[in-house]
Amino acid sequence: MKEITLTINDKEVKGKEGDTVLDVCRANDIYVPTLCHLEGLSSVGACRLCVVEIEGERRINPACTYPARDGMVVKTTSEQLEGYRRMILELIFSERNHFCMFCAQSGDCELQDLAYRYQMDHVRFPYAFPSLPVDTLNDYLVLDHNRCILCGRCVRVCSEVVGTHTLDFGKRGWRTVVCADLDQPLGESSCISCGACVQACPTGAIFSKVSAYKGRTSECQEIESVCSQCGVGCEIKVLVRDNNLVRIDGADITGLRGQLCPRGRFDPLNETRSRITTPFKRDGKGELEECSINEALDLVVKKIKEIKGSYGPGAIAGIATTKCSNDSLERFNRLFRDVIGSDRVDTLDGDSYRVIAKGIASFNGKGLEIECPMEEILEADCIMVVGADPLESHPVLGSYILRAVTKHGAELIVIEPLRNSFAYRANLWLRPEEGTESDLIKGLAHLIADKGLGDLKKAKGDFGKAIEDYDAQKVSKGSGVRADDLELAAEVYGRAKRGVIVYGEGIASESIASLLNLAALTGNSTKNGLRVISLKPNGNSRGAWELGIASRDGFSVDGVKGAYLLLADDAIEDEKLVAQLREMEFLVVQSSYHFPVTSMADVVLPSHIWAERKGQYKALDGGLRKSRRVLKPGKGIKEDSSIITGLMKRLQEKGGK
């Protein structure tokens, strides 16, 4: 990009063509106050605090929207400018309720900071005292119009970053307010509670219920880590005070993976489950009693040996959550497969793995490495979402899709029998009868091949033959999807230059194989694979699956007498599995929180929560993420990996194999 030279405050500085005056100032460390500007969002010049004097201009202009030009002479500070800035602040203060003493954001407020900077010790204008409502209906967010300065940062972050565009301005003139959808309460709107607006808000107009009044940024330690709640692996900045969570921010709100979602931003601060802080073992009367970690591990080792002796190693099963880091999971796998000698090992999301693995294997006999990076979505011109509601299951990935749609008009095709928050945002929603989506995908492949938009030679195996019968009329009849919708979907995906397929847990292996073939025959391939991404259920699903923990050929606890459940801070929802665990002769549960399943256990081992873990995770697209320890674990609560290592050592020492 061409370099340009400007004179700012009598100093020669460099900028790039296309920069605004503000960009050049920021790049050269020249202070210009702003409120409505947020790096990474579009500039609108709403607050006017960044006004500067530009030589040759009759009036002052906002730096954030004024294009920098070669040879431009700019002044960012003068008596006149500072006077205007102070006046703008006074006008803002007089417009609504900006009394700081009871505001949740006092001490963390950009408006307040500027008032201090400009030594605004009084206001020359009468206050308007408008009576505006406060919207508290959302589970996590409070929208207090009285604190709002109408800078529009929330509106822009909601549309430009999150892509849901729930927030916008309503009403006119001085009555203007930020509103959700058609002036719905936030809690009843299309808001996904991702909290990007909270982080973008310069004042206390939108704040989080779970962080309010817990502490100011200046009183907290800031620790950068990654979120392990889902497989997107967003980058987080955690604010901690006295070993308590105060707030979780996206590390870079407008950057990649900095947006966050309610599960990453708010839920961890809303934890109400009761924590397990010591090991427990069942005493003579059958009650769980506290014990030392050594007592607990000794009992586990004794029981494992007994069961192995009586029934063989296959009578011992291990089931792990995929929330844990690679390190713990790798050891867990070794404990069973190498030390105990049992191949009855699985993850709680093992069923999802088997469906996906089978689908990919039947396509080309390979594994997850065929999938593309998440960032492909942002560049896509067509996104086909099959059997998933990414806004619900992986909200930030869902945002990537919406961003591609709003930013450069990518076409969004949703194939989903049930109505969900994503389907109604689609350009084309194909709604097959349940159980017919596999036929529908084959029908699309057939149509694409027919139209010459794909090359069946690029498909694997006999896919070309397999789809021969799936002509539009037949598929339409079987699936209940109109034939012209099928045609349209085939045209749009077939003609896309960068079509990305995203599929969820709702679809069968056969459909997965068909989707991969669809991507292959339309040439939607990347250097290493295809533009296809599967949504995996947990934070480290991919890491666990690649470690080979989940049994590929099915898993059952039939004939199992002793089980070890590594639950960590996950919850167990599979009631059938819980019922099976109840029948075990011996059950070990390693969990951060008390659950019905822990009260069933013979030995309970404590476990770290996400914030206490440090380690590596694999994002759903295979990207490596490293998490840092954010909170110090309670005394005596050891790392999962060291507990597992302790077991391995004991078993090996005393001839466990």
Nearest distance in Å: CB 214, other proteins:
16
**1 sits near other proteins (criterion: CB under 8 A):** no
Which 170-189 residues touch other proteins, going by CB under 8 A? none
Nearest distance in Å: CB 103, other proteins:
8
Nearest distance in Å: CB 266, other proteins:
25
**131 sits near other proteins (criterion: CB under 8 A):** yes
Which of 101, 182 has the CB closer to other proteins?
A: 101
Residues 94-113 as x/- pattern, contact with other proteins by CB under 8 A? ---x-xxxxx--xx----x-
**393 sits near other proteins (criterion: CB under 8 A):** no
Nearest distance in Å: CB 591, other proteins:
42
The pair of structure tokens assigned to 265 is 């931003």
Give the number of residues in contact with other proteins, rule: CB under 8 A: 21
Residue span binding other proteins (CB under 8 A) among the ranges 26-34, 125-133, 450-458, 632-640: 125-133
Nearest distance in Å: CB 114, other proteins:
10
Q: Which of 241, 245, 167 is nearest to 200 (CA)?
A: 167
In one letter, which amino acid is 391? L
Which of 31, 424 has the CB closer to other proteins?
A: 31
DSSP bridge partners of 54 = 74
Q: Which of 352, 409, 411 is nearest to 384 (CA)?
A: 411
Which of 32, 157 has the CB closer to other proteins?
A: 32
Nearest distance in Å: CB 106, other proteins:
4
**123 sits near other proteins (criterion: CB under 8 A):** yes
Residues 283-302 as x/- pattern, contact with other proteins by CB under 8 A? --------------------
Q: Would you list the DSSP string of 204-232?
A: SSEEETTTTTS--GGGSEEEEEE--SSTT
Interface with other proteins (CB under 8 A), residue from 59, 122, 172, 635: 122
Which 317-346 residues touch other proteins, going by CB under 8 A? none
Which of 119, 272 has the CB closer to other proteins?
A: 119
Rounded distance between C-alpha atoms, residue 269 and residue 78, angstroms: 46
Which 62-101 residues touch other proteins, going by CB under 8 A? 93, 97, 99-101
The residue whose two tokens read 């709003």 is 406
Interface with other proteins (CB under 8 A), residue from 16, 69, 117, 451: 117
Rounded distance between C-alpha atoms, residue 473 and residue 596, angstroms: 52
Nearest distance in Å: CB 97, other proteins:
7
42-49 contacts at long range (C-beta below 8 A, 24 or more positions apart): 42/156, 42/160, 44/152, 44/156, 46/150, 46/151, 46/152, 47/88, 47/92, 47/149, 47/151, 48/84, 48/88, 49/85, 49/88, 49/89, 49/114
Which of 124, 451 has the CB closer to other proteins?
A: 124
Contact 95, 128 (CB under 8 A): yes
Give the burial class of 295: count Cβ atoms within 10 A of its Cβ; 0-12 exposed, 13-18 middle, 19 or more buried: middle
Interface with other proteins (CB under 8 A), residue from 3, 29, 79, 121: 121
Nearest distance in Å: CB 285, other proteins:
50
Nearest distance in Å: CB 273, other proteins:
34
Nearest distance in Å: CB 121, other proteins:
4
Contact 590, 605 (CB under 8 A): yes
Nearest distance in Å: CB 105, other proteins:
10
Which of 96, 446 has the CB closer to other proteins?
A: 96
SS3 category, 423: helix
Contact 448, 518 (CB under 8 A): yes
Contacts of 631 (CB under 8 A, 6+ apart): 240, 243, 244, 245, 609, 611, 612
SS3 category, 412: strand
Nearest distance in Å: CB 100, other proteins:
4
CA 342 to chain centre: 35
Which of 112, 538 has the CB closer to other proteins?
A: 112
Nearest distance in Å: CB 74, other proteins:
25
Which of 132, 508 has the CB closer to other proteins?
A: 132
Which 267-286 residues touch other proteins, going by CB under 8 A? none
E strand or H helix that includes residue 125: none
Any idea of the CA torsion for 345, 348, 350, 352, to the nearest 10 degrees?
A: 180
Which of 131, 272 has the CB closer to other proteins?
A: 131
Contact 473, 479 (CB under 8 A): no
Length of the chain, in residues: 657
SS3 category, 516: helix
Contact 398, 383 (CB under 8 A): no
Which of 129, 424 has the CB closer to other proteins?
A: 129
**634 sits near other proteins (criterion: CB under 8 A):** no
Which residues here bind other proteins, judged by CB under 8 A?
93, 97, 99-103, 106-107, 112, 115-117, 119, 121-123, 126-127, 129, 131
